[in-house]
A and B are shown apart, each in its own frame.
Chain A
Amino acid sequence: MPSQSRSPILDLSICGVLVGLSVFIIWGTKDIPPPFFDPVGSAAFPKYAAYIIIALALAIGVRAIFSIKTTHKETKKPYKEEPLLALYVVVVPSLYVLTMNLGWLSFRAATILFIILLSALLSKFDKRSMIVSAIVALVFGIGGQYLFTEVFYIDLPQ
């Protein structure tokens, strides 16, 4: 089956990032000492994998360049995509993890705030959804802390 990429530009961007990543890995393998017991050593596997990734990225990239002209207009979807909400789903959890990682908030407090905030953003501050999400947040924050620490013996951030 042929590649039906959503966008050759996205393919090209990903390939560019992957080439950069591979170069970074090849550079990282230079610090690995040479093998002692076997003919391969620890550096060979990631190094050759990186070479293969570069070769594949170039092949996909060249193909994407040739397909830019022939790419047809995207079929209209029956629903509207929300890229901003997708961004929130990355940013808000990152802040949630950061607050616990830096020891600013306990799991319980951070979870309650996180669920309320993210639900509010996802529902675009719909009042009814926010009331329900506040209840969910309290139940999960308090109940979850109890369940996971007392029943499953998981040492959550305090």
Chain B
Amino acid sequence: MEFFNALQHVLSPYPFLWIFIGVAGGIFVGAIPGLGGGMLMALTVPLTFSMDSTNAVLLLMGMHVGSVSGGLISATLLKMPGTPSAMMTTFDGHPMAKQGQPGKALSLGIGASLFGGIISGVFLIALAPPLSNFAHKFGPWEYVTMVMMAMVLIASISQGSMLKGLMAAMLGLMAAMPGLNESDGQLRLTYGFDSMGDGFNLLPVLLGIFVMSQIIKDALEINKKGVGIAMSKTERIFPKFGEWKRHTVNIARSSCIGTWVGILPGIGASISSMVAYGIAKTFSKNPKRFGTGHDEGIVAAESANNANAGGALIPLITIGIPGAPVDAILLGAMIMHQIQPGPLLFQTNGDLVWSLMTGYIVANIVMFLIMVFSARHLAKVVNINRTYLIPVVFAFCLIGAYAPSNRMFDVWVVIGFGVVGYFLDRARFPLGPFVIGYVLAGIMEAELRSGLQMSEGSFGPMMTRPIAATFTVISIVFLVYSLVQEWRSRKTIPTTESG
């Protein structure tokens, strides 16, 4: 019943308009290499302050859905993924386009994105309410161990070194430390600066990490150009039903993988598409054709990365832990709109949650329609001149950081974290764990302190409470396994400097 009420609301003019604007903006930005959904969402959050909170969340969620899908246009036509999640699409999308079938490559990707999105939307609606009920059983120790598990998972599954992933998570956690500690009202690490009293606010940190570091990188790589492939006017983009029938199993499997990886706290869409691509290759009758323009590769990658977006909403809604770094922005926006994601969300803001879940499915359908009718035109603008883009994006950053509290200090924070993010990225420290560490630091500290008060300073409940013990064991197993794996691979593979 709630679903149909929410559907009715989402399809009414204003919410639908915001979804449409969000998806269209997301596709446009996602299609341009060097920009991304996270960047657009972070820049948009301050503009939503005067909006109705449901519409604001629908707008941002639409941007997320649009940007994940938009990345496939440049991945296919330019061999430059518009977003990191479209990386696997370049392996088969671009070769297929090069073989004279750019329309087919896009149609496969667009259709797979739609099915991936809808399947994960069904999971979202089916799993979120019972998981939210289950999360009511969580006490402080369950939260502490779950955050610990999230940080270990994201650090170990992120691309690159486990140690660097852990370091990034710890640095994010540390970035959240200065300022007023809400647990006891104590100021800390301000070093005598009044401006540090509020600490580093969420939005400036996100703008620095997601936007500023990216525009520094864009300037460094300003000469990087894609290998453009033109599309003829007669090229078909609308997917054929017959083509889809052949890919039913691949779509279902990849979408389930995408959703499941999305549910794991802190892991982004690029991992989903990698895992789904690898498994599709393993089960394929023609594994050798992967990487040469094979349709199964495009379908697996695109259905998984879109499904990830829906899966990642599940931990965000039910326990207040972002399923992917980009979801940290959605979490931040919700908090700024006085909405606290977590087990109580269904009770306190039930209408909003149902609108978000239903809106997610509607956003995927809107994405499909926009992509089918505009991909041909979008293909012409993906190589936009970054000379004009970089200054304008920074000016937006300034407004975005300055607007919430009218403090220039926050704009300096953007620049500072941008430089930090750039150097970390350059040295291959993953930025996803940094964002997740920053967002989860407050929850972890507050819950740990209240847990220790309850247990009179003992860490025993981490192993004596069943749910907490499960999370602790998973964390330890993952940590040890990943470190051993890394140690073994370092012994066999010499470090190679690569671009």
Contacts and interface: CB of A to CB of B under 8 A. Distances in A.
Contacts of B489: 1-2
Contacts of A3: 160-161, 163-164, 428, 486, 490, 495
Contacts of A25: 174, 177, 189
A72 B493 CA distance: 12
Nearest to B487: A2
A106 interface: no
Nearest to A133: B388
B381 interface: no
B222 A57 contact: no
Nearest to B183: A42
A75 B498 CA distance: 6
Interface in B437-477: 445, 448-450, 452-453, 456-457
Given A14-B423, A97-B415, A122-B386, A154 B161 contact: no
Q: How large is the interface on A (under 10, 10 to 19, 20 to 34, 35 or more residues)?
A: 35 or more
Interface stretch (B18-26, B256-264, B296-304, B400-408): B400-408
Contact of A46 (B163, B174, B183, B402): B174
A70 B494 contact: yes
Nearest to A83: B220
Contacts of B171: 18, 53
A100 to B, nearest CB: 7
Contacts of A133: 387-388, 391
**Interface magnitude class on chain B:** 35 or more
Nearest to B51: A152
A14 B428 CA distance: 11
Interface string B401-428: 0110010100110010011001110111
A96 B418 CA distance: 16
B225 interface: yes
| Residue from A71, A89, A114, A157 having most chain B Cβ neighbours under 10 A | A89
B219 A71 contact: no
Interface in A62-77: 63, 67, 70-75, 77
A70 B497 CA distance: 10
Contacts of A126: 387
B286 interface: no
Contacts of B52: none
Contacts of B428: 3-6
B398 A38 contact: no
A2 B495 CA distance: 8
Contacts of B408: 97, 100-101, 157
A113 B392 CA distance: 12
A42 B181 contact: yes
B495 A70 contact: yes
Given A2-B495, A74-B497, A97 B188 contact: no
Given A14-B427, A50-B174, A119-B391, A72 B219 contact: no
Nearest to A4: B498
A16 interface: no
Contacts of B412: 97, 101
Interface in B44-92: 46-47, 49-50
Contact of B189 (A14, A18, A46, A81): A46
B338 interface: no
Interface string A116-141: 00110011001001001100110010
B223 interface: yes
Contacts of A118: 390-391, 394
Given A81-B220, A83-B220, A100-B408, A7 B423 contact: no
B296 to A, nearest CB: 24
Nearest to A50: B174
A6 B89 CA distance: 25
A86 B216 contact: yes
B385 interface: yes
Contacts of A53: 167, 170-171, 174
B387 A90 contact: no
B215 interface: yes
Interface string A93-120: 1101100110000000001001100110
Contacts of B194: none
Given A60-B163, A97-B398, A49 B174 contact: yes
Contacts of A157: 402, 408
Given A3-B163, A5-B495, A140 B392 contact: yes
Contact of A2 (B219, B422, B493): B493
Interface-central residue, B47, B159, B427, by most chain A CB under 10 Å: B427
Nearest to B398: A97
Contacts of B173: 49
A152 B161 contact: no
8 contacts: A2-B161, A6-B499, A37-B184, A39-B457, A72-B497, A73-B497, A79-B221, A155-B406
4 smallest beta-carbon distances between A and B, as pairs: A3-B161, A39-B457, A67-B495, A86-B220
Interface of A: 1-8, 10-11, 14, 18, 25, 28-29, 31-33, 35-43, 45-46, 49-50, 52-53, 56-57, 59-60, 63, 67, 70-75, 77-83, 85-86, 88-90, 93-94, 96-97, 100-101, 111, 114-115, 118-119, 122-123, 126, 129, 132-133, 136-137, 140, 144, 148, 152-157
